[in-house]
Amino acid sequence: MMPKIRRYEDRDFAEYASTLEKTTSWGKEARDELRAMLAKVSKEQIWIAEVDGRAVGFMILTSNDDCSLEVDWLDVHPDFQRRGIGTILVKKAVEIAKEKNCGFLSVHTWETNEKMMTFSIKNGFKIVECLRNFYGEGKDALLLKKKLR
């Protein structure tokens, strides 16, 4: 099972929202959160991992002012986690960042999200900063970066 990496299409919305419902605390609000995010980013910044015609992994990239690229959202459907799909998406992000001549790739996650921290460190990211109140009062995040050159 080698996933195909491709750009997001409107037909992916339902699978993406369903995955967010399963992987975040948003529950049924996932559709609204996804719509809000999609309104902010270009479709060229959204990547899909597809297995047997099904969208199972999702990544939204955003550019930062400091010539870096950020993996803003990275989600893999629970039935497909621990199969290398997230790593393949990160490799795609590295490829895009290098094409843009970025010095590093970054990701932020909840301070308590051990699963994402472990995944990020395994993929070459290092914790560089705690972002106090990043997600709201008392809701801290960790910023992780992966050096590219």
Q: List pLDDT tens digits, range 52-73.
A: 999 999 999 998 766 778 998 9
Distance, in Å, from the CA atom of 126 to the CA atom of 143, rounded to the nearest integer, reads 8
Of 112, 108, 58, whose CA–CA distance to 80 is shortest? 58
Q: With H, G, I as helix, E, B as strand and everything else as coil, classify residue 28.
A: helix
Domain of 77, in residue numbers:
4-147
pLDDT average per 10 residues of sequence, the chain (149 residues): 91 95 88 92 91 95 82 94 95 93 91 91 95 90 91
CATH number at residue 33: 3.40.630.30
Count of the separate structural domains present in the chain: 1
Q: What is the pTM of this model?
A: 0.91
Q: Rounded to 5 degrees, what are φ and ψ at 38? A: -65, -30
